[in-house]
Amino acid sequence: MKLQRRAALLLAVLIAATGCKNSAVLSQSEAPSSSEAPPSSASAPAVLPLPGIDAESFPRIDGSTANHPLITRIYSEICGISREEAETLVDLDLGSTGSIWQKMLYGDESCLLIVYEPPEEVKEASAAELSRLEIDPIGRDGLVFLANAQNPVESLTVEELRKIYTAQLTDWSEVGGEPGPIQPFQRNSDSGSQTLFMKLLMQGEPPMAPPTELVQQTMGGLIDGVAAFDGSGSALGYSVYYYASLMYGNPNLKLLAVDGVTPSNESIGNQSYPLTNDFYLVIRADEPADSPVRALRDWLLTDEGKRLLEEENYVWARAGMPQQSAGAGNPFESFALPG
């Protein structure tokens, strides 16, 4: 699963583009098809030299579903090829965010992750291993809730959502909608969106056990399931904002405001939207100083990395932070949920 890196050194544009085309490979968790990526220019970007990386040493990158467009853009820009060509060279690894973290923690191959927060079971079982990684926030996203476009409800409070997912509120009429049962979908336990759901919304309170048909293994499956469920518009579900708004929109669904705040890049960036969380760059702490993995990580933490991220419509999460890694350690220890 090797990905070639940005046609690096100095004027080697042709070498880099050819090398990336022939051997670069990207691993991606639950990745959507190329048609789901945000639009971008078909022309090949200019190739910029990146010290420590050449066409034969581009590191492997793994990531969460919603980070697929960003990873593809990195590949395209560094290899000096078009977005469309980069998409054809991506080798998809249809895993979950939890499995991506597990491979990083216990696998042998050096790589870089662009990934959402690990599930709680990974944090608990792998605390020592997590402390041997360098984990840096790079972007921010929000947990968003989806309802049928014809549902008159436009906003729910955090407390109402928590009560819905603990079966204390069961009918749309109880939250300002038309009479009818609320059918709340959930994700599988090791998905990135389920991790955010448990952390940001439930905060240690166990949700009700949903019927099997209301548990989806992929984010796209949840969005389609909420849109299609029994044709009544009774379903409720959740995803991350980037995926639901830019990668896998469904015209039959709408994003609900939470506590009266509509999710957007602005409200997620300034955290006025109440359900936000960072996603991360991750490498192993023992990566050598001249490692291509470390060189790529360091570049992504610069203003150039910020430019690339924001051009892909992500929210930069490092405002005011120094342009270097925080170093090894386990930043998720302080995020542990009660109970």
> Torsion angle, CA of 126/127/131/136, rounded to 10 degrees?
80
Domain edge (last residue) among 250, 269, 288:
269
Say yes or no: 19 and 130 in one domain: yes
Domain boundary among 241, 269, 297: 269
Structural element, H or E, at residue 130: helix 127-130
**77 vs 145: CA distance, rounded Å:** 33
What confidence tens digit (pLDDT) does each residue in 212-236 have?
A: 677 776 777 788 878 776 666 799 9
Instruction: Report whether 35 contacts 56 (CB < 8 A).
Output: no
308 found inside a domain? yes
Indicate the pTM of the whole model. Answer: 0.82
Same domain assignment for residues 261 and 285? no
Q: How far apart are CA 23 and CA 271, in angstroms?
A: 41
Overall domain count for the chain: 2
**Considering the domain boundaries, does residue 6 fall inside one?**
no
149 and 259 assigned to the same domain: yes
Domain that holds residue 158: 142-269
Domain membership of residue 148 (yes or no) is yes
Q: Could you tell me if 326 and 136 are in contact, meaning their C-beta atoms sit under 8 angstroms apart?
A: yes
Residue 198 has pLDDT above 90, yes or no: yes
| Residue 177 included in any domain | yes
- Dig out the tokens for 282 from the structure: 């991750």
Most confident region among 120-124, 177-181, 271-275, 301-305 by mean pLDDT: 271-275
- Cα–Cα–Cα angle for 68, 73, 79, nearest 5°? 125
Number of C-alpha atoms within 13 angstroms, CB side, residue 183?
20
Per-residue pLDDT of 55-82, as tens digits, reads 566 788 888 989 989 988 888 888 777 8
Are residues 36 and 94 located together in one domain of the fold?
A: yes
**Nearest alpha carbon to residue 298 among 52, 62, 107:** 52
The verdict on 133 and 159 lying in the same domain is: no
**Residue 46 pLDDT more than 80?**
no
Between residues 20 and 133, which one has the greater pLDDT?
133
Has residue 296 been placed in a domain? yes
Structure tokens that stand for 204 in this block: 């240690």
Is the Cα torsion angle 318, 319, 320, 324 positive or negative in sign? positive
> What length does the chain have?
339
Shared domain for 159 and 118, answered yes or no, is no
Taking the C-alpha atoms of residue 138 and residue 66, their distance in angstroms, rounded to an integer, is 14
Contact 144, 241 (CB under 8 A): yes
> What is the bridge-based pairing of β-strands 276-284 and 111-115?
antiparallel
The percent of residues above 90 in pLDDT, for the chain, comes to 47
The CATH code of the domain that includes 167 is 3.40.190.10
Would you place residue 49 in the very low, low, confident or very high pLDDT band (cuts 50, 70, 90)? low
**Residue where a domain terminates, one of 249, 269, 289:** 269
Same structural domain, 130 and 155: no
Residue 5, in any domain of the structure: no
Q: Is 313 helix (H, G, I), strand (E, B) or coil?
A: coil
Please tell me whether residues 122 and 19 are part of one structural domain: yes
In a domain, 2, yes or no: no
Query: Domain check: are 213 and 314 in the same one?
Result: no
Specify the 3-state DSSP secondary structure of 17: helix
Count CB atoms within 10 A of the CB of residue 204: 11
Is residue 8 domain-resident?
Answer: no
Contact (Cβ atoms closer than 8 angstroms) between residue 199 and residue 104: no
Whether residue 174 sits in one domain with residue 253: yes
